[in-house]
Structure 1
């Protein structure tokens, strides 16, 4: 894989930290990495955005590119329209990713919110960019109640567009998981139609960068460069009675 799209099933569920963890592992294996953020919203000029957070956690060796930045925390098309700025088009995302892919071993495209969030007023989404690139999509999901529905909807949207779900990562695994979270581990792969590829612990983004890089491998599966084992983790966290 040269280009991977990282999409969430919603907002604030750990996409950036997951992207940083994948980046850290790729760098540790000797691969060159670029992270593309098509649209950063809710961040003022000069303030650090998601791309900067990835380099803080994974290391400055990560190349980052932000195509557009809009000050209000809204969907990219709405934020662009309200700011009087040009909207981001799927072909621009694809072109930027292809250029980065020519110079890097791995390109991660981190979306804004969920898969079908609109980037322009014609209804273009991150999925449209993924189709242009024929890129697999890594789905970052929440742990608790409601995640099975949003994961299944995301998977259905991917299949309808002939896109491949690379797998699912729980973007913030609670320090004290509730019953729903523990049961969901067994059901997430079925809802996604793709394997469970990791569980990033709650608060991982607050770790010192050196600790983050050192621990990333224990959160992600071998498919993403780590040592995390889905079967062992799910068995350990399963509630009594299954």
Structure 2
């Protein structure tokens, strides 16, 4: 997969850190990586956004950002309130294709969930992925309530003819509760895709992030993580 879209089931669930982990694992495997953030919201000009955070954590990746809006809102709302142009799926697809010409892997990080609106016509990250027929990775939280949101995201992808390589848990605590441990087996069932990794809650604070990231991700994402071993470590 030369272009991989990364979408969360919601906000603040570890999507940017997951993107960084995938980038770090790919770099460790000798791949060249670019990270595209179509719409950065809640950031003033000059502030480091999500793409910069990926580079800080992962290492030498190419970063690109198509639009930036100051208020922490959905991209369409933030653009409208700021009086700035919307980002369109066609612009996202074109930018990803250009980056793919010079990189082995292009990671396109969405804003919030899959169906967050980018413009006043209601177009979304899914529309951009459709233009490229690119896979969409699902990043989900570990705890209670995640099964429903993950199932809805998987159904939305399937309804649009999009495929997903699997699910990554964006934040796995040191002492997971019963619901979290049960979700390890249930997330693949409700999404119809495999579990491809689990990032520790403190991942973004680790100085060893670039070298440790592959241990959090499966071989599909250039890592060494095993879902079978992880489930055995955390039985329900």
Q: Which TM-score tier does this pair reach, normalised by the shorter chain?
A: over 0.9
Residue in structure 1 matched with residue 106 of structure 2 by the alignment: 107
TM-score (normalised: structure 2): 0.99
3-state SS of 1:132 partner: helix
Residue in structure 2 matched with residue 221 of structure 1 by the alignment: 218
Counterparts of 2:26 and 2:183, CA distance in 1: 28
Runs of 4+ in 1 over 2 A off after TM superposition: none
Does 2:2 match 1:6?
no
Q: CA deviation at 1:8?
A: 0.3
CA contact (8 A) 1:165 1:192 kept: no
CA contact (8 A) 1:36 1:64 kept: yes
Counterparts of 1:78 and 1:203, CA distance in 2: 32
Counterparts of 1:87 and 1:162, CA distance in 2: 25
Q: CA deviation at 1:137?
A: 0.6
CA contact (8 A) 1:116 1:125 kept: yes
RMSD: 0.6
How many residues are matched? 236
Counterparts of 1:183 and 1:156, CA distance in 2: 21
3-state SS of 1:234 partner: helix
Q: CA deviation at 1:30?
A: 1.2
CA contact (8 A) 2:4 2:107 kept: yes
Residue in structure 1 matched with residue 235 of structure 2 by the alignment: 238
Residue in structure 1 matched with residue 57 of structure 2 by the alignment: 57
Alpha-carbon deviations, 1:189-240, whole Å to 9, x = none?
01111000000000101112xx00111111000111111100110122112x
3-state SS of 1:103 partner: coil
Q: CA deviation at 1:35?
A: 0.3
Residue in structure 2 matched with residue 188 of structure 1 by the alignment: 187
Counterparts of 2:231 and 2:74, CA distance in 1: 34
Counterparts of 1:6 and 1:68, CA distance in 2: 18
Q: CA deviation at 1:139?
A: 0.4
Residue in structure 1 matched with residue 155 of structure 2 by the alignment: 156
Q: CA deviation at 1:176?
A: 1.1
Counterparts of 2:206 and 2:67, CA distance in 1: 28
CA contact (8 A) 2:18 2:170 kept: yes
For structure 2, list consecutive stretches of 5 or more residues without a partner in the other structure: none
- Bigger Cα displacement from structure 2, 124-133 vs 22-31: 22-31
Q: CA deviation at 1:39?
A: 0.2
Residue in structure 2 matched with residue 92 of structure 1 by the alignment: 91
CA contact (8 A) 2:32 2:104 kept: yes
